[in-house]
Amino acid sequence: MMDSEAAGPRDSDGAMRIGFALLPKKVSRYLTPAIQAAALAEGIELYLIDISKPLSEQGPFNAIIHKLRPNRAWECDLQEYSKLHPDVRVIDRVDGIATLRNRITMLSVLRASDIVLMDPLSSSTVFRVKAPPQVVIPEDMPADEAEQLMLESGMRPPLIVKPVWTDGREGSHGLAVVHDMVSLSNLLKGSVLSSVKPPAVIQEFVEHGGVLFKVYVVGNHTAVSKRPSLGDNYLGNGSGEERTGIMQLPRISCKSVSTGLSAQGDSPSGTPTSVRPSSDASLSDMGMATPSPQNQVVELPPEWFTHQLANELRKRLNMHLFNFDLLRVDAGAEDGVTGESLYFVIDINYFPGVDKIPHFEEKFVQFLQAACKSSVST
């Protein structure tokens, strides 16, 4: 039971109030009758904020959770409300969300320094987590300057080209795989039809066995999903086949292979608490690796590792509701000098579809309870 000082303001029924400012598609997923009933059973009222009205007319709140398109009027109102009510927890900070909406800044917390984690039970087991090298191509950069940047970077095809913005605008989820430098030059010049165009970031493909790990962070809780990703065979690596041209792909890693849920102290064995098979249909057509026998036996990263990594990113970002895409470099490409296992975080997204994780309602209500107990500024 929370003490009155920690709980903050309550409405006439004695319930704490959490305001939600959400995109319409998220309202139907996060303010369901089941979640509202579970929250109310814990003394928490969930309130849908009308962003056309000032927050000062809709409070009081113990916490505010928001996920909207960029909206300067809303952000100003939220920040002004926070100044007047500093004890109201805002999830998450406006400037933090802006950092994750831009792939130029998204991985800055990893570019400043790698994350190195050691197995608490074995000092010889070390995991290093990095951001992939990338080149930023501004919208108005001449093609010859862009080509010079690529030359200086030393990156070689296949290359992954992504839009800079991840804020939901048209094309923000696009992805292009470029197999040769001539095709990259044509893309940057706009001489080929592509939904991915400058401003863009370019990353070198990292061999990772065609499996991506998507790690969801809901406060102190983490969930890990194993998804199909770009397959080495599709990219021509090791096949002896020299591929050329540009392949445009829809959003990948959209089909789950398996999911594990953990929290501090939960499931110490690291055994996934839920498994969701993936459909093989059309994965190869989308440029993904199908769940071949080799991919099916790919294990989730150790639970201690994903949980510690999530906590470290949470601290560095000062954010509480996000997910990140994690690649494990093929075993043959590990650091042969130190013996470290090498991982790359390639994307971080604010307030993703965490309702897909096992036991979501229970974990989300626990998260809301924690939000009411403490305060954080925007």
DSSP secondary structure, 30-86, as one string: HS-HHHHHHHHHTTEEEEE--TTS-GGGT---SEEEEE-S--HHHHHHHHHHHHH-T
Report for 105-119, 188-202, 273-287: range of highest mean pLDDT = 105-119
**Pick from 259, 268, 220: which is nearest to 366 by CA?**
220
Distances (CA, A) of 113 to 6, 75, 116, 131, 217: 36, 30, 9, 9, 21
Per-residue pLDDT at 229 exceeds 60: yes
Cα–Cα distance between 77 and 85 in angstroms, integer? 12
Q: Give the per-residue pLDDT at 94.
A: 94
Instruction: State how beta strands 115-119 and 63-67 pair.
Output: unpaired
The CATH number given to 4-92+362-370 is: 3.40.50.11370
156 is in an annotated binding site: no
322 is in an annotated binding site: no
Cβ contacts of 289-293, under 8 Å, gap ≥ 24: 289/209, 289/210, 289/211, 289/228, 289/229, 289/230, 289/231, 289/232, 289/233, 289/234, 290/228, 290/231, 291/228, 291/257, 292/210
67 is in an annotated binding site: yes
Distances (CA, A) of 242 to 156, 183, 229, 353: 13, 14, 21, 38
208 is in an annotated binding site: yes
Q: Give the per-residue pLDDT at 2.
A: 33
Per-residue pLDDT at 115 exceeds 70: yes
Q: Give the per-residue pLDDT at 250.
A: 62
Cα–Cα distance between 205 and 158 in angstroms, integer? 6
26 is in an annotated binding site: yes
Per-residue pLDDT at 326 exceeds 70: yes
The answer to whether 341 and 327 have CB atoms below 8 angstroms apart is: no
Higher pLDDT: 192 or 221? It is: 221
211 is in an annotated binding site: yes
Q: Give the per-residue pLDDT at 241.
A: 62
Query: For residue 248, what are the β-bridge partners?
Result: 176
374 is in an annotated binding site: no
Per-residue pLDDT at 287 exceeds 80: no
53 is in an annotated binding site: no
The answer to whether 24 and 31 have CB atoms below 8 angstroms apart is: no
Kindly report the CATH class assigned to 108-350: alpha beta
Report for 27-31, 47-51, 122-126, 153-157: range of highest mean pLDDT = 47-51
Q: Give the per-residue pLDDT at 378.
A: 39
Q: Give the per-residue pLDDT at 20.
A: 97
The answer to whether 261 and 359 have CB atoms below 8 angstroms apart is: yes
pTM of the model: 0.82
213 is in an annotated binding site: yes
Per-residue pLDDT at 15 exceeds 50: yes
Q: How would residue 244 be classed by pLDDT, with cut points 50, 70 and 90? A: confident
Q: How would residue 53 be classed by pLDDT, with cut points 50, 70 and 90? A: very high
Per-residue pLDDT at 74 exceeds 90: yes
Q: How would residue 344 be classed by pLDDT, with cut points 50, 70 and 90? A: very high
The torsion angles phi and psi of 113, rounded to 5 degrees, stand at -165, 140
Per-residue pLDDT at 277 exceeds 50: no
Cα–Cα distance between 264 and 196 in angstroms, integer? 40
For the ranges 164-173, 231-240, 284-293, the lowest mean pLDDT is seen at 284-293
Report for 73-77, 143-147, 365-369: range of highest mean pLDDT = 73-77
Q: Give the per-residue pLDDT at 237.
A: 52
pLDDT (average), residues 299-311? 94
Other CB atoms within 10 A of residue 196 CB: 21
Higher pLDDT: 264 or 348? It is: 348
Report domain extents, the chain. Answer: 4-92+362-370, 108-350
Mean residue pLDDT across the chain = 79
The strands making up 16-22's β-sheet, listed across from edge to edge, are 44-48, 16-22, 63-67, 89-91
Share of the chain above pLDDT 90, in %: 47
Query: CB burial class (10 A; 0-12, 13-18, 19+) of residue 310?
Result: buried
Q: How would residue 235 be classed by pLDDT, with cut points 50, 70 and 90? A: low
Per-residue pLDDT at 242 exceeds 80: no
Q: How would residue 193 be classed by pLDDT, with cut points 50, 70 and 90? A: low
Q: Which position has the token pair 């319409």?
A: 24
Q: Give the per-residue pLDDT at 101.
A: 94
Distances (CA, A) of 123 to 157, 270, 308, 338, 339: 37, 19, 15, 13, 12
226 is in an annotated binding site: no
214 is in an annotated binding site: yes
373 is in an annotated binding site: no
The answer to whether 192 and 183 have CB atoms below 8 angstroms apart is: yes
Cα–Cα distance between 138 and 103 in angstroms, integer? 12
Cα–Cα distance between 362 and 106 in angstroms, integer? 29
pLDDT (average), residues 160-169? 86
Q: Give the DSSP H/E element, type plus range, for residue 115.
A: strand 115-119
Other CB atoms within 10 A of residue 218 CB: 24
The answer to whether 78 and 54 have CB atoms below 8 angstroms apart is: no
Q: Which position has the token pair 């940047």?
A: 149
Cα–Cα distance between 65 and 131 in angstroms, integer? 28
Q: How would residue 297 be classed by pLDDT, with cut points 50, 70 and 90? A: low
Higher pLDDT: 228 or 134? It is: 134
173 is in an annotated binding site: yes
Q: How would residue 48 be classed by pLDDT, with cut points 50, 70 and 90? A: very high
207 is in an annotated binding site: yes
Rg (CA), the chain: 22
Per-residue pLDDT at 157 exceeds 70: yes
